[in-house]
Amino acid sequence: MTTLSDADIQARMAVGELVRNGSEAQLGPACYELRMGSVYYDLTEGDKRIDASSKGTVLIKPGHRVVLITLEELVIPHNVIARVASKGSLFSIGLSPVSTYADPGFSGNLGIVTQNLSDKFIELPIGEPIAKIDFSLLSSAASNPYRGQHGYQTQIWPIRHQLQRTYDDLKGDPRVESEEAESYKILPRATASALKVIQRKQRIIDSAILAAVCINGLVLAAVSTKFLDSMVSLGTNLLSTAIVGAIMWVSRRKEQVNGS
């Protein structure tokens, strides 16, 4: 295969091939830099289609997966294949890397799937370069060119939901542990450990409160005078506080021993 140079790409653009609605300013030595269009899909929020025209920017929330629809349309001849790769400047601020193809015969706006792996919101202005695409000549025209959905012209993005499963769908599968255990696996280890400590302490506190309430109830049921009520209530509260303190002290000692 032969990769097209900037001059080759420019010449083909001039006759309506490879890139439509393009700009010569986006040409690199052997690639074209695709720009952000006004439409994107947030896959984390129910595949929601968002038109960013009024805002002028695309907003990618922390942790969200999105499909960025290019401003340019591609027109790939049957004897050309195009490769799409991330821009390093976007990868460096937290967007996951992109590596995909535009097959011979593809035409339309390209959808670029990426995820915000950072803890910050990322705003992409419409027209911002989001990926590089290069073009290679095949040894001969493809006999079975691309015939699928072209771009987002159907107003939806082709998400293969039939391949996705919920925990309820798979909870009987021996490869799947409890929902809580599976949730911990996708969290950073430090975060998962901190949450486990919090849950353990909460269970201890809940048990201590329940014990204190039971003791209070039993003692109050056993007394018959207001004087005794007051004295026993005071003593019971002190006893309950001591029990909670003792349980927390034992818990801390165990954690220190385990940590050492």
**pLDDT average per 10 residues of sequence, the chain (260 residues):** 94 95 95 96 88 94 93 95 92 90 91 92 95 96 80 56 75 82 76 81 80 70 57 67 70 59
Contacts with 148 (C-beta within 8 Å, 6 or more apart), sequence order: 158
Closest by alpha carbon to 111, among 120, 121, 102? 102
Cα 230–Cα 234–Cα 237 angle in degrees, nearest 5: 135
Do the beta carbons of residue 154 and residue 41 sit within 8 Å? Answer: no
Type and span of the H or E element at 238: helix 226-259
- The two tokens of residue 33 are 């830099």
CA 35 and chain centroid, separation: 22
Tokens of 7: 């001059």
In terms of Cα–Cα distance, which of 51, 14, 8, 45 is closest to 28? 8
Residue type (1 letter), 179: E
**d(Cα 106, Cα 70) in Å, to the nearest integer?**
14
Paired tokens of 120: 């910050």
**pTM to 2 decimal places:** 0.68
Q: Specify whether the CB–CB gap between 129 and 87 falls below 8 A.
A: yes
The token pair at 66 is 């999105």
pLDDT confidence of residue 53: 94
